[in-house]
Homo-oligomer: A and B are copies of this chain.
Amino acid sequence: MESNHHYTYQQLAVFAEAVFLKMGCTDSDAALATKVLLSADLRGIDSHGIARLVGYVRLWELGRINATPDIKIVHETPSTAVIDGDRGLGLIVAPRAMEIAMEKARQVGTGWVSVKNSNHFGIAGYHAMMALEQEMIGIAMTNASALVAPTYAAEKLLGTNPIAVAVPAGDEAPFVADFATTTAANGKLEIAQRNNITIPFGWAQDADGNATQDANILKNGGALLPLGSEKEQGSHKGYALGSIVDIFSAVLSGASFGPWAPPFPAYVTMPENMPGEGLGHFIGAMRIDAFRPAADFKSNMDLWLNRFRKATPVKGYEKVYVAGDIERSMEIVRMQNGIPLVQNVQNDLIALAEKMSLYFERKS
Contacts and interface: CB of A to CB of B under 8 A. Distances in A.
Interface of A: 75, 77-80, 82, 107-110, 112, 114, 137, 150-155, 157, 165, 167, 175, 177, 179-184, 200, 202-203, 205, 208-209, 227-229, 232-234, 236-241, 243-244, 246-248, 251-254, 257-259, 275-276, 286-288, 290-292, 296-297, 300-301, 303-304, 307-308, 311-315, 317, 319-323
B232 A153 contact: no
A109 B80 contact: yes
Contact of A300 (B227, B232, B251): B251
B314 A208 contact: yes
Instruction: Report whether over half of chain A's contact residues are helix, strand or loop; otherwise say mixed.
Output: mixed
A42 B182 CA distance: 30
B240 A229 contact: no
Count copies of this chain in the complex. Answer: 2
Given A112-B110, A290-B79, A308 B150 contact: yes
Given A78-B109, A110-B110, A254-B292, 8 more contacts: A77-B108, A79-B108, A152-B320, A155-B311, A177-B240, A179-B240, A243-B323, A257-B304
Given A79-B110, A109-B112, A320-B153, A234 B307 contact: no
Q: Which 8 A-B pairs have the closest CB atoms?
A: A209-B314, A77-B109, A177-B240, A80-B109, A78-B108, A80-B290, A240-B323, A79-B109
Contact of A150 (B184, B234, B311): B311
